[in-house]
Amino acid sequence: MISIITCDSGQELYSSFGHSAFRVQDPARGIDWAYNYGTFNFNTPNFYGKFARGKLLYSLSVSKFSDFLFTYELENRWVKEQILALNREEKDALFRFLENNRLPENKDYKYDFLFDNCATKLPEILKKVLGNKLKFDDQHIKAQTTFRDLIHQNLFYNSWSSFGIDLALGSVIDVEAKPEEYMFLPYYVMQQMSHTNLANSPLVIRERTVLDYPNRNFNSTFGTSPLFWLLFLLFFTLAISYIDLRNGTRSRWLDFFLFLVTGLAGVLIFFLWFMTDHSSTANNFNILWAFPLNFIACYFLIRKDRIPTWMGKYILILLVLLGLTLILWIFQVQQFSPLISIVFATLGFRYALLYKYFTNSNPGLK
């Protein structure tokens, strides 16, 4: 017997989207194995560098199903099984494919979050093995949804995971996903299997729950959420800016902090866009407000000696880029995290004050 296994999402970011695997059972041969395409080797040379650059290879691993299930029992995550209506010849063909795929020379593949992961592997393999007899019926997909919206179905908006994903992923995920592309998420693989025919008969003959736990909410407390800290930064910036405006001064450490953080974020976005193989981080217009050159500008803003004469013009450019980002958001070129609106308010107010300060004051003032 061969079945599709779908696992509930977990609390950590890497497990937020759930998991998919094949299960193969043959009691006569003592086989009850899970074929899992979501594993990688922590001992890979330069592991973190390859992971960051999108060059880390993922692998097919095979384990006893009881061992595979143990993690989900510990984390109280439900596991569901869909038994496939395969005849003996089809079962043997699929088993041979999986066994060949587990060989050292075949087990590795280049992971892609949207198009080649543990979930997409399952329908891809079924199509390869079963050929034209397999028909995916996508009529159950009614809504027109972007990749970003599909990702957010598994995330709480007021979370650092959601905020970080919206910061790191570019406008390429703001296109409408085709029905078959929904299957980068395990839940939609499970849903699609229930709407798939094999030789004009349902592919799934039976569904059952292996582990039964209720769906859980992982909402963080407000005090640790990005909304709380971004609002704190906004009101702190407004308060310090009011004091600066009243006294005709400039708080160097506040400017240093804002420019350092946005500059580092911009450097990260630049790296993910231009220096990695991640397909989902391209065309990321967050780089307009998280401007990489702020990482250099923060050095001049913290100094006590003369400020460069070009600083006023630089601040004006930042204001223009901030406005351009808002235009791209309004015209839906890219969707940004709703929390970014607080960041825009913080930066916009501070930039406007700095522009006034540097254009109305002697450049030598601190």
Q: How buried is 45 (Cβ within 10 angstroms: 0-12 exposed, 13-18 middle, 19+ buried)?
A: exposed
| DSSP labels, 224-235 | GSHHHHHHHHHH
pLDDT at residue 219, as a whole number: 60
| Tens-digit pLDDT profile for residues 146-156 | 999 999 998 88
Q: Which stretches of the chain drop beneath a pLDDT of 70?
A: 47-48, 216-220, 361-366
Q: Where are the domains of the chain?
A: 2-211, 222-360
- Tokens representing 47 are 């592991």
CATH of 2-211, picked from 3.30.420, 3.90.105, 3.90.1720, 2.60.40, is 3.90.1720
| DSSP labels, 166-224 | HHHS-GGGGSBPPGGGGGGSHHHHHHHHTTEEETTEESEEEEEEEE-------PPPGGG
pLDDT at residue 363, as a whole number: 46
Sequence length of the chain is 366
pLDDT at residue 154, as a whole number: 86
Crossing angle of helices 88-101/121-130, nearest 10°? 130
pLDDT at residue 364, as a whole number: 44
